Structure 1
Amino acid sequence: MASRLKSVLITGCSAGGIGGGLADAFHEAGYHVFATARTPSKISPSLAKAPNVTSLALDVLSPESIAAAVESVTRVTGGKLDVLVNNSGTLMVMPALDVSIEEGKRHFDTNYWAVLAMVQAFAPLLIKAKGYVVNNTSVSGLVPFGAFGSIYNSSKAAAILGSETWRLELAPLGVRTLTLVTAGVKSNVFSNVKPPIIPKTSYYYGIRDWIVEQLDGRMQKDGITAKEFGDKVVRQVEKGTTGKYWVGGGAAGARIAAWLLPDWMMDMLIVSMFPFGKMLQAQSKVKNN
């Protein structure tokens, strides 16, 4: 028998992450939550055992895994899905001159192509439900925050523009789209990122320790909690909001800066936050002496 509750499927629900906060918020709002993760055992036990929660194994890079998730949701809901939240993503910090192109492509596979694959696969269920697509992107896709994050930033920029274009395409089919431009959220994302190994041949080798330190969580210092983030997102979904929604610690300031500041002022702001140019100059002087 199909569940009568509104349903939501959320990718990337490992404990301690944004996905877990989203799942908790939607569950409290009365949804049947399909909490997914590549390794379901990483989902919080309290969430996995809660009523009206279905834990699913889902690898967003596997067409077979996505198809299996569609079948599982269909069996429970009778072929409808009210909300699809594409939350899975990967973070990468590495100087662009040192990036492995193949590794960079894998990040785009997760942060962009997997999102589109999920939308395509669940489109029939969403259209039947007159549902909602929520795509979690990043403020870094619009403002180049974060030193040496060109792969992450550009993959999120692609996701933002893709999401906003899909919004226009899906609207005539009765499906709404919300693009989350996410700023500071306290989660375990940095602890799960493999520290970059800067090669000795890199122009940035002299500041390699500083580059690695960018993953120490300092960017989340003023962030909101994952549950607070989830509550904000649920409110927007319940209101029927579409388009870009800036959310998280520092989101308002970043939005104003992106809107008002000319490029040269934005450059000055980012350089003041990430003064690696001065650090490189200092290293060069040391070597020359």
Structure 2
Amino acid sequence: MALSRRSVLITGCSAGGIGAALASVFQERGYHVFATARNPSKLPPNLSDAANVTSLTLDVLSSESIAAAVEGVKRETGGKLDILINNSGAGMCLPALDTPIEDGKRLFDLNLWAPLAMFQAFAPLLIEAKGCVVNNSSAGAYSPMALNSKYWISKAALAAASETWSHELQPLGVRTVTLITCAVKTEFFTKYQRDELPASSRYYGIRDFNYGISDGWLQAGAISSRQYATKVAKEIEKGSTGIVWAGTHALLFRFLCWLLPQSLFDMVVESVVPISAEMEKAKQKK
């Protein structure tokens, strides 16, 4: 029997991440939540056991898996979906010179093309519900920090794509939200398997500094995933459209991006990831 309550599908809901926090907040607000993961056993118990949560196996890189998820939602809702949150994603901490192109393409498949595949597949359900698509990008789309370029580039591409898609979806009655996510405390870095620099790399002398970027220090002092999810849910429910900044110091970061001259903003970025200073220290040691 079709459900009358509002519904939301969230990708990437494994325990300890942003997706799981979003699913919990929407579940508490009375939505029927479709919490998805490649392996549903990785969902937190509070989601797996909740009456208004449906766990779905979903690999966003598989058209067959996406199609099966669409059918699963249709059976529960009668052919509608109020909110689709494209949250799944991955990182890659390597300099551009040392990133294999094929690895970069796989990252783009997950961070850019998968959200497109998802909203294409769920478009009939979203249009029927006059719903909302939410694409989770990153502050990295606006701050070109070194040694993580493929991730930032893929998130910048998603932000630009999401804002473009919004103009195409608006005439169909579907609202689009582009999340610009600043630092959030999650378990991402505890599970991250670092990418190794080859000994031939021009950055091999600062390899420890490079590896340090993926050890979680960028999340130091960050807000919790629940605080973030609560902010995002409020923005969605009040009808926000377009770019929404969320996460640690999101408002401050937003103003720095817009107000500072490029030269000063570059200094701020360099202060966060001081690659030039580290390269100079490595050169002096050598």
TM-score tier after normalising by the smaller chain length: over 0.9
The equivalent of 2:20 in structure 1 is: 20
**2:72 aligned with 1:75, yes or no?**
no
Using structure 1 for the length normalisation, give the TM-score.
Answer: 0.97
1:184 is displaced (CA, Å) by 1.1
Aligned mates of 1:273, 1:186 — CA distance in 2: 17
The 5 A counterparts of 1:21-40 are: 21-40=21-40
Identity %: 55
The equivalent of 2:220 in structure 1 is: 221
Q: Secondary structure at the match of 1:245?
A: strand
Aligned mates of 2:278, 2:72 — CA distance in 1: 53
Residues 28-83 of structure 1: CA deviation (Å, up to 9, x unaligned): 11100000001110001221110110000000000000000000000000000000
- What amino acid is the match of 1:36? T
Give the conservation status (yes or no) of the 8 Å contact 1:33–1:54.
yes
Aligned mates of 2:249, 2:217 — CA distance in 1: 13
**2:183 aligned with 1:190, yes or no?**
no
The 5 A counterparts of 1:260-271 are: 260-271=259-270
1:183 is displaced (CA, Å) by 0.2
The equivalent of 2:58 in structure 1 is: 58
Aligned mates of 1:266, 1:23 — CA distance in 2: 35
The equivalent of 1:98 in structure 2 is: 98
The equivalent of 2:284 in structure 1 is: 285
1:214 is displaced (CA, Å) by 1.0
Aligned mates of 2:197, 2:155 — CA distance in 1: 23
The equivalent of 2:114 in structure 1 is: 114
Give the conservation status (yes or no) of the 8 Å contact 1:36–1:58.
yes
Give the conservation status (yes or no) of the 8 Å contact 1:87–1:135.
yes
Aligned mates of 1:151, 1:229 — CA distance in 2: 24
1:158 is displaced (CA, Å) by 0.5
Aligned mates of 2:6, 2:213 — CA distance in 1: 40
1:286 is displaced (CA, Å) by 2.3
Give the conservation status (yes or no) of the 8 Å contact 2:47–2:53.
yes
**2:6 aligned with 1:6, yes or no?**
yes
1:175 is displaced (CA, Å) by 0.5
Q: Secondary structure at the match of 1:148?
A: coil
1:123 is displaced (CA, Å) by 0.1
Q: Secondary structure at the match of 1:214?
A: helix
1:275 is displaced (CA, Å) by 1.7
Aligned mates of 1:125, 1:88 — CA distance in 2: 20
Using structure 2 for the length normalisation, give the TM-score.
Answer: 0.98
Q: CA RMSD in A?
A: 0.9
The 5 A counterparts of 1:76-225 are: 76-145=76-145, 147-225=146-224
- What amino acid is the match of 2:264? M
Give the conservation status (yes or no) of the 8 Å contact 2:12–2:88.
yes
Aligned mates of 2:47, 2:29 — CA distance in 1: 14
Aligned mates of 2:176, 2:271 — CA distance in 1: 35
1:285 is displaced (CA, Å) by 2.1
Q: Secondary structure at the match of 1:215?
A: helix
1:201 is displaced (CA, Å) by 0.4
Q: Secondary structure at the match of 2:214?
A: coil
Aligned mates of 2:16, 2:163 — CA distance in 1: 28
Unaligned runs of 5+ in 2: none
1:222 is displaced (CA, Å) by 2.5
1:190 is displaced (CA, Å) by 1.4
Give the conservation status (yes or no) of the 8 Å contact 1:178–1:242.
yes
1:233 is displaced (CA, Å) by 1.1
Residues 204-250 of structure 1: CA deviation (Å, up to 9, x unaligned): 10110111111121111122111111111111111110000000002
Aligned mates of 1:279, 1:69 — CA distance in 2: 47
1:262 is displaced (CA, Å) by 1.4
Q: Secondary structure at the match of 1:105?
A: helix
